[in-house]
Structure 1
Amino acid sequence: MYRVSDEQRRIRLGRRHLLAPSVRAASAVAVADAVVALHATDPATVYLSICARLSEPGVGAVEDALYEDVSLVRLLSMRNTLFTVSADVAPAVDASSARPVAAKERQKLLRHLREDGNGLDERWLADTERQTLAALAARGRATGSELSAAVPALRTKITVFPGTKQETVQGVASRVIRVLAADGRIRRDRPRGSWTSSQFRWTTAEPWPASDPGEARAEVAGRWLRSYGPATEGDLKWWTGWGIRETRTALAAAGAEEVLLDSGAVGWAAPGDHTTEPSPEPWAALLPALDPSAMGWADRGFQLPADHRAALFDRAGNIGPTVWWNGGIVGGWAQRPDGEPVWRLLSDVGREASLLIEAEAARLSAWTGDVRVTPRFRTPLERELAG
C-alpha cells in the first residue's frame, strides 16, 4: 500500500485548490471545478472563495458567471446544504444529491400542510406551484414578497408542529419557493443590494436532465478524490451526506485506490494518484467562512492543529474566516467596521509567511473596497477581531 504523508496532502491542496499564486485561475468556473463545489449558504462566501483563487479577482467575474451566462448554478444538494457548482458538474450533483434532497423537502412541506388540518394537500400545492411559476414567467424575475403579492395562495398561513412546544404559525411562501428551487424549476437571480445580500430575486429555470444516480455518485466521488484525495471513506461520506453503502459503491465505481495516511487510517486516492508531488512556491491565503478548502473533510487533522478549533469554529461546527500558510490553517481574520482586514496568527510561521499574509490582505482589500462582510456563522475569533 502506498503511503501519502500529511505534507503531501497540504502540497496537493495548495496546487489543486488553486491557492498558490502560480496556479491561480482565470475564470470563476475553473475555480468551482477545482474544488468541485463552493459553499453558498452565505452568499459572500462564493465571491470570497472564488476571488481568493483568481489571478485577477473581482466581483464582476463572479456575477457574470452566476447571472449572465449562468455557467455557475446553485443547488440545494450535499448534506441539504446550498452549493454553487459549474453547469458541467451540476447534472451529476443534481442526480447524486439534489434529487433526494428535493424529494425530502417536498414530503416535509406536504406533511406540514396535512398537519395544519385545513384541507391543504398535494393538489393544492401543485396548483399553487403552477400559479407561482406563471407569475414569475410573466415578470421575468421577482422577489418572494412580489410573488406573494401576485399569488394569493402564497399568503396562506399554516400551523406547524401543532400541539407541541414548537407550535407556530408560518406563511407558506418561503416553503413553496424552496421546494420549487430544490426541484430546479426556479433559480436565484441577482440579489437586492450588493453581492453580500441574501435577499434574492427569482427567475424560472429548467430542471437538469434525469440521469442514473449511481453513475452520478461515481462521477462526484471521482471529482472529489482528484480535488481532496487522498482522504478517508468517512470524509467522503460526511462531505456528500450519502449513506455508507452509497459511499463505498461510489468509491469502487470511481476506481479509488487504497493508500495509507500519516494518521494510520486507510485513505482513498483517484486511480494512480499516489506519486510524490513537488511543493509549489510558498503561499498564503485569507479564506472565508465555510471555504471548501476547510470544509472538504470530516477529519481536518492534517491541516488544522487541534488547539486552533475553539477559536475558529462556531458551536455547530462551522468554520470561520481562516489564515493559511502552505496548506495549513495558522490563524483567523475578520474585517473592522471600515472594511480593513485584521488577522491573528495562532501558529508561529515566521517573517516570510507574515509578509505574504499582509500581501494577501492587501489583495483582498483591493477588490472588496469598502464592502463589509459579516459571516452568517460567526466564530469566537472573528467576533473578537471584528470588534
Structure 2
Amino acid sequence: MHHISDEQRRIRLGRRHLLAPSVRTASPVSVTDALVALHATDAATVFLSACARMSEASVVAVERALYEDVSLVRQLSMRNTLFVVSQELAPYVDASNARAVAAKERRTFLKHLADDGNGLDERWLAGTERKILAALAAHGPLTGSELSAAVAGLRTKITVFPGKKYEGVQGVASRVIRILAAEGRIRRDRPRGSWTSSQFRWTTSEPLPFEEPAQAQAELARRWLRSYGPATEADLKWWTGWALGPVRKSLAAVGAEEVRLDGGAVGWILPKDLEPEPALEPWAALLPALDPSAMGWADRSFHLPAGHRKALFDRSGNIGPTVWWNGEIVGGWAQRADGEPVWRLLSDIGRDATAVVEAEASRLSQWVGQARITPRFRTPLERELTA
C-alpha cells in the first residue's frame, strides 16, 4: 500500500488550503472552493478565513461575493452547522446534506406546535411563511425584528416540552425564519453593523438546481478528498455528518484509493493523486476560530500536537484562533480590546519562524483595522490572552 507521511500531509495542507504566500489567491470564491466550505456559525470567521488566504485581504470583496454577486451562499448543512459554499457547489451541498437538515428542522418545529395544544399546525405555519415571503418581496431586506413587526404570526409564543422540568415559553420567529433559510427560500443579506455582526437582514432567494442525493454525495466527497486527502473514513464521516454507508458508497463512486498513513491508519485519496508534492516556502498563518484547516478532520494529530488541545479547544470541541507554522498548529492568538492582535506560541519554532509569525500578525492587524473580534466559542488561551 502506498504510504503518505504526515510531513506530506502538512505540505498538501499548506498548498491546497492556500496558506503559503506563493499560493494565495485574489478571489474569496476561489478560497471557499479550495476549502470546500467555510464555517459560518461565527460571522467573522468567514472573513478571517478568506482574507488569510487572499493575496490582498479585502472585506469588500468578501461582502460583494456574499451580498451582491451572491457567488457565495450560506447553508445549514454538514453536521447541522452553518457553512458558506460557492454558488456552484451549493446544489450538491443542498442535495447531500441541507435538504435533510431542513426537513428535520420542519418536523421538529411542527411537533412543538402540536405539543403546545393551541391549534397551531402545518396550515398556520404555511400561512405565516407566505406572509413572510410577501413582506420580504415588498419591503425587504428586513431584520428579524422588522419581519416580526410586519407579520403578526411571528410574534406568537408557544410552550415547548410541556410537562417536563425543562418546560419553557419561546417565541416562534427565529424558528420559522431558520426553517425558511434552511430550505433556501430566504437568505441572509447584509447585517446591521459591521462584517463581524450576526444580526442579519433577510431577503428572498432563488431556488437551487436539483441534484440527486447519491450523485451529490459523491461530488462532495470528491471535492473534500481533493482538499483534505489523504484522510480516513472516520474523517469524512465526521466532516459530512453522514452515516458510514453513504461515506463508503461515495468513496467507491469517486474511485478513491487506499493509502497508509503514519501510525498505520488507512486513509483514502483520489485516483492519480499519489505523487509527493514539493515543499513550500516557510509560511505562517493566523487562522480564526473554527477555520476549516483546523476543523477538517476528526483526527488532527498530523498537524495538532496533543498537548495543545486543552488550551485551544472549548469544552464542546470547538477550536479557537490558531497560529500555524509550516502546516502545524503551534499556538493561539486573540485580539485585545484596543485592537492589538496578541499571540502565544505553544511550540518552540525558533527566532526566524517567530519573525514570520510577527509579520503575519501585522498583516492581520492592518486589514482588520477598527473591527473588534470576539469568537462565539471562547477557549482557555483566547480568554487568557485578552484578559
State the TM-score bracket (shorter-chain normalisation).
Answer: over 0.9
The equivalent of 1:369 in structure 2 is 369
Equivalent AA in structure 1 for residue 242 of structure 2: W
Matched AA of 1:86: S
Match of 2:157 in 1: 157
SS in 1 for 2:255: coil
2-structure distance, mates of 1:317, 1:131: 39
2-side partners of 1:8 and 1:165: how far apart? 53
SS at structure 2 position matched to 1:317: coil
In 1, the alpha carbon distance for the partners of 2:47 and 2:177 equals 24
SS in structure 2 at match of 1:130: helix
Letter in 1 for 2:351: R
After TM superposition, the structure 1 stretch with the greater mean CA deviation from structure 2, 130-139 or 311-320, is: 130-139
Q: Structure 1 runs of 4+ off > 2 angstroms?
A: none
Distance 1:370 1:136 in 2: 32
SS in 2 for 1:316: coil
Q: Secondary structure at the match of 1:159?
A: strand
Corresponding position of 1:88: 88
Match of 2:226 in 1: 226
TM-score when scaled to structure 1? Answer: 0.99
**Residue in 2 that maps onto 1:240:** 240
Aligned to 2:10: 10
Deviation of residue 370 (structure 1)? 2.1
Q: Tell me how far 1:375 sits from its aligned partner.
A: 0.2
Cα distance, 1:207 vs. partner? 2.2
Q: How does 1:51-130 map to 2 (within 5 A)?
A: 51-130=51-130
* 1:84-119 residue CA offsets vs partner (Å, 9 max, x unmatched): 001011111111010000000000110100000011
- State the shift of 1:58 in Å: 1.6
Coordinate RMSD, CA, aligned: 0.6
SS at match of 1:349: coil
Q: Which residue of 1 aligns with 2:207?
A: 207
Matches within 5 A, 1:333-348: 333-348=333-348
Q: Which stretch shifts more, 75-84 or 363-372? A: 363-372
SS in 2 for 1:333: strand
Same amino acid, percent of matched pairs: 76
Aligned partner letter, 1:33:
D
Residue of structure 1 in register with 2:302 after alignment? 302
Letter in 2 for 1:314: D
Shift of 1:64: 0.5
Helix, strand or coil for the counterpart of 1:26?
coil
Instruction: Tell me which amino acid in the other structure corresponds to 1:65.
Output: A
Aligned twin of 1:256: 256
**Which amino acid is the alignment partner of residue 78 of structure 1?**
M
Q: CA deviation at 1:353?
A: 1.0
What is the match of residue 26 of structure 1? 26
Q: Deviation of residue 254 (structure 1)?
A: 1.3
| Partner Cα separation in structure 2 for residue 305 and residue 218 of structure 1 | 32
3-state DSSP of counterpart to 1:280:
coil
Gaps of 5+ in 2: none
Q: Once the 2 structures are TM-superposed, how far is the Cα of residue 135 of structure 1 from its aligned partner? A: 0.7
Q: For residue 319 of structure 1, what is the aligned residue in structure 2?
A: 319
**3-state DSSP of counterpart to 1:370:** coil
Shift of the alpha carbon at 1:263? 2.0
Q: Distance in 2 between matches of 1:176 and 1:41?
A: 18
Distance 2:32 2:220 in 1: 13
Shift of 1:79: 0.2
Match for 1:107: what amino acid?
R
1:267 matched residue in structure 2: 267
What amino acid is aligned across from residue 68 of structure 1 in structure 2? Answer: E
CA distance in 2, matches of 1:59, 1:309: 30
The CA deviation at 1:332 is 0.3
Q: After superposition, give the CA deviation of every residue in 1:168-197 in whole Å (9 maximum; x if it has no partner).
A: 101111100000000000000000000000
Structure 2 counterpart of 1:371, one-letter code? A
Matched, 1:288 2:288: yes
Secondary structure at the aligned position of 1:268 is classed as strand
State the secondary structure of the residue aligned to 1:149.
helix
Distance 1:334 1:242 in 2: 33
Q: Give 1:185's aligned residue.
A: 185
SS of aligned partner of 2:332: strand
**Count of residues in correspondence between the two structures:** 387
